Amino acid sequence: MDLHDTYRQLGISDEVYDFGETVLEGLKERFEKIDAIAEYNQCKVLAAMRKNKVDAACFYASNGYGYNDLGRDKIEKVYADVFRTEAALVRPQIVCGTHALTVALSANLLPGDELLSPVGKPYDTLEEVIGIRPSKCSLKEYGVSYSQVDLLKDGSFDYDGIKKAITEKTKMVTIQRSKGYQTRPSFSSEQIGGLIAFVKKVKPDVIVMVDNCYGEFVEEKEPSDYGADMVVGSLIKNPGGGLAPIGGYICGRRDLIDRCAYRLSAPGLGQEVGASLGVMQSFYQGFFLAPTVVASAEKGAIFAAEIYGKLGFKVVPEGREERHDVIQAVELGSKEGMEAFCLGIQKAAPVDSYVTPIPWAMPGYDDEVIMAAGAFVQGSSIELSADGPIREPYAVYFQGGLTWYHAKIGILSSLNEMVRAGLVKI
């Protein structure tokens, strides 16, 4: 078997392939640690499914009101057990991560309350939800105020600033685990736990919500293990395992989840309604596969960091740093660099590989965004993808890969296009 020839068929040069193999020689020990975490998390998911007696009846479709949907009710118990929370809301009616966060925020914040972010600016699509950028139906429009405390220059928490920012109006603290479209560090569950303990000491009754997107199963423990009142995410990211076609989750305290269910459906209806419409098998199977899929994506992110770090680009995190999510930021320094990188990722996609990504005015973003994603599920960023806003420092955010091998191919393809465009020399 000649792997050189196989990669040549994908348009990847021998020079690029050989460079990748040289980088991989130093990653064996790191990958073994990732596999050990995946094994731990696989046991955790299996234990929850066994405890809740998941069976074939859980996969049956419901329609209409969705009363007595066994599969829907059990998947929520499985999530609650895995995230070690009192309750969970896991629904196909939640269309994305931003929607899940919006439900959690709007359900538990009332007029006159204040939302505090102690980790700086939130992800772009939440700006309109909060009202940082004016929008219809924003929290600001309904009388919810917002304040934030930026991180210190070294990326750590500004505890003095946070203590001053917490007032009698502060009802909820929101912590974004992943970096979003920033080149700040992502946070470990343990770091988030320390922050939670601090804000609870300042104000014991404050609600702490963690945007857990891109972080699930990267570590052995989740923020909910460290006291988060709610953890929120998307099923077309990590926990869906690449199989969930839609959906989101909110896990946490029973009283908070009850309010989320009332906000998602209607007061008085809550979790009793909401047809599963035949997606339950993909929810269960995707969640079961998620630990190994996340491990593959994490290996791809580390490979990307090592490849581009060795070529002189700023990468966040660096290849040898501990990882707390599956996103890899690479500062390419120019719009042309972002376009070449994304073209390589698109060429490595199983769907729409012939398409050329171009920047466009994507809804919910203030800048033009370029996105490369040839996914089986539209917008699924646990699948091989890369994107970023066209603004300084011209950073592209790489994530996903349902298998390690696909992630590897994608990174080598991105480098191949950078070389071809004359933007880098090996």
Number of residues that this document lists for the chain:
426
- For 332-380, write each residue's pLDDT tens digit: 999 999 999 999 999 999 999 999 999 988 777 778 999 999 999 999 9
- For 83-116, write each residue's pLDDT tens digit: 999 999 999 999 999 999 999 999 999 999 999 9
* Percent of the chain at pLDDT exceeding 90: 95
pLDDT of 182: 80
pLDDT of 334: 96
- Strand residues in 71-160 grouped as ranges (E): 87-91, 114-117, 145-148
- Strand residues in 157-283 grouped as ranges (E): 170-176, 207-211, 230-234, 248-252
Letter string b/e over residues 32-41, b meaning 16 or more CB atoms within 10 A of that residue's CB: eebeebbeeb
pLDDT at 81 over 80: yes
pLDDT of 217: 98
Domains and CATH numbers, the chain: 3-41+291-420 (3.90.1150.60), 43-287 (3.40.640.10)
- How many whole angstroms separate alpha carbon 389 and alpha carbon 381? 16
pLDDT at 38 over 90: yes
pLDDT at 140 over 80: yes
- For 210-238, write each residue's pLDDT tens digit: 999 999 999 999 999 999 999 999 999 99
pLDDT of 82: 98
Mean pLDDT of 170-184: 91
- How many whole angstroms separate alpha carbon 45 and alpha carbon 413? 34
- For 144-166, write each residue's pLDDT tens digit: 999 999 999 999 999 999 999 99
- For 234-287, write each residue's pLDDT tens digit: 999 999 999 999 999 999 999 999 999 999 999 999 999 999 999 999 999 999
pLDDT of 366: 78
Supply the mean pLDDT for the chain: 96
pLDDT of 183: 77
Q: At 180, is the pLDDT very low, low, confident or very high (cuts 50, 70, 90)?
A: confident
Of 141, 152, 144, 154, the C-alpha closest to 118 is: 152
Tokens 């600033």 sit on residue: 161
- How many whole angstroms separate alpha carbon 60 and alpha carbon 277? 9
Mean pLDDT of 174-188: 90
pLDDT of 124: 85
